[in-house]
Amino acid sequence: MREYKSLSTRIICLVFLFGAATHAQEVYVPLNSPVYDYLSRLSIKGVISLHDEVTPYSRMYIASRLRETRERSDLLNSVEKDQLQWYEEEFHFELDPRKNLVPARAYVYGYNDSIFQVKVNPIAGYGVNSTGPAFGEKRWWGGYVYGTYSNSFAAHLDFRDNAESGDNIDSAKAFSPVRGYWINKGSPNGKEIEYSDVKGSIALSWNWGTVSLIKDDIRWGHGTFGQLILSDKPPSYPQLRLTLNPTPWLRFYYMHGWLSSMVYDSAMFYQIALSPDRGPIYRKSYIGKYIAANLLSVNPREWIDLSLGNSVVYTGPSIRPEYLIPFLLYKFQDHNAGRDNDAGNNGQLFVDVSVKYPVKWNSYFTLFVDNLDLTQLLHQQYENAQIGFTLGLKRIDCVVENLDFIAEYTRILPWVYEHYIPTEDFKHLNYPLGDWIGQNADQLRIQLNYVPIYKTTLSAYTELIRKGGLLDVYYYAYELDAGQPFLYGPVRREFDVGIEGTHEVYHDLTVSADVRYSSISDQDSLRTQKFLLGKKVSFGLSVSYGL
């Protein structure tokens, strides 16, 4: 075990020593920044080129897209021109200050000279919400710091402490698009919870690539309301990332992550004290759990992105060195390692396609393959296929300027993301690494987005979500010749209609409001909290500073 740890440490150190002699720096922008929607719209309109199969973007990459937008600003309408100036203020220091005549946004503390810069901002927010007669509130505080040195080093820290209270707390967030968390404190009556979120990174880059050691959110694959491959549903986890862009038409992404299995390793228990009744108190450890994944993306034409990748979730006392090879076919590695199903790992394959043609249209498709037996397919036996897919369509400037239409459907068949070895499911802290709806579920959502003025966004949507049951994975998914039908029970059904609005008063200072009508039924009496069931009207209002 020590040999493996020593080898992995040396490899990671060598990667960063290689990056130390490079000529650029990267700081990643939080995924909830409105700049992502802005750049996506411009790319669909054909104003800029944008590689959006993997996010988050770095500040330097966003600045390069803003420079391209400025060069083609004659293609923008009045609201988009105002938005451009707004984001040029936000990314003033990443743009050339000598050419960027737009004043820089203010920070609580900021310093920059010819080789060094650091920016510091607080994070704070307060919100109230209701679900039918149940009322709740949420508050959070923290801070965000990022800095760069010369053109070779960048780092950031993002910390926030959260508290929720009230009668409508969804503490587990097990079936919700809201990011999951590990609850570190809660009241006995379940009406108060507290949890923290800490993210950070160090990154080094050169002209055609970036390497980073990072604990932050990540998304792989196209999807507006969820991502099948990798999403920001689970809490952030440490990752070693590598991004290569040797030509304008080819990109390669790799990541190795350290996950939490939530399964105790009893062999590692040891006594640390005695309880008041003289019983032993043990120090406990979880079984090690890791993920390695890669994605190759190409552009046969400027308006099409084709991506193909694979991943593996594996366990052990230490990381396996072969999974530090970025270009490996991980799903088939066990075939060369003498490992059968009970000693092997959990591999996946995935495909992602995005077509931005004709102008103002974007269609996209993602296929996630967890398990697929070609022999059974040839015999037209589809019951044990474990796949998920997303189909999406966007239309920019639909009917009127700045009104966008989005339709998206996702279906995930039974057992996807699951595994009969609990330490090898496609999860972190029991949250799926992919789409939040999980296995045996589907979602259809139609949404309209409208930007009446450059700092305000309005949305109206309707959606239908169905969720089936989860039987014993080993027996039903692997032992029986016949699988279970899609949406086998117990079934949860949800229908939503809602409107949302956000207004950015100043950079990072945002006011948000929403209202939603929902109708939810669930045949499983323990899965959905009672305050959510039935026909309910929900309201929410929040004020926040910091993304």
Look at residue 6 and tell me whether its pLDDT is greater than 60.
Answer: no
pLDDT mean over 304-324: 94
pLDDT band at 109 (very low <50, low <70, confident <90, very high): very high
- Residue range 40-97, pLDDT digits in tens: 999 999 999 999 999 999 999 999 999 999 999 999 999 999 999 999 999 998 887 6
Question: Quick one: which H or E segment has residue 197?
Answer: strand 192-206
pLDDT at position 185, please?
83
Pick the CATH number of 108-545 from 2.40.160.130, 3.40.1280.10, 3.60.40.10, 3.40.50.360: 2.40.160.130
Average pLDDT over residues 508-523: 97
d(CA 509, CA 525): 41
Per cent of the chain over pLDDT 70 is: 90
Rounded average pLDDT over 330-345: 70
pLDDT number for residue 113 = 85
Question: Are the beta carbons of 533 and 521 closer than 8 angstroms?
Answer: yes
Q: How confident is the model at residue 21 (pLDDT cuts 50, 70, 90)?
A: very low
Structure tokens belonging to residue 421: 């070895």
pLDDT recorded at residue 16? 45
pLDDT of residue 111: 92
Query: What is the model's pTM?
Result: 0.93
Helix (H, G, I), strand (E, B) or coil at 474: helix
* Higher pLDDT, residue 373 or 195: 195
Range 244-258 average pLDDT: 97
* Residue 23 confidence (pLDDT) above 70: no
pLDDT of residue 206: 86
Share of the chain above pLDDT 90, in %: 75
Least confident of 53-62, 246-255, 283-292, 479-488: 479-488
Structure-token match 């992105």, residue found: 305
Q: With beta carbons less than 8 A apart as the criterion, state whether 512 and 504 touch.
A: no
Q: Is the pLDDT confidence value at 505 over 60?
A: yes
| Domain boundaries of the chain, sorted by first residue | 108-545
Instruction: Name which of 400-404, 467-471, 475-479 the model is least confident about.
Output: 475-479
Residues 139-152 have pLDDT tens digits of 999 999 999 988 78
Asked which of 65-69, 138-142, 278-282, 531-535 is least confident by mean pLDDT, the reply is: 278-282
Instruction: Give the whole-angstrom CA distance, residue 58 versus residue 205.
Output: 11
CA–CA distance, 104 with 30 (Å, rounded to integer): 19
Tell whether the model's pLDDT for residue 288 goes beyond 50: yes
What single-letter amino acid sits at 481? D
HSE-CB at 233 with a 13 A cutoff on CA atoms is: 28
Query: So what's the pLDDT on residue 20?
Result: 41
d(CA 250, CA 283): 48
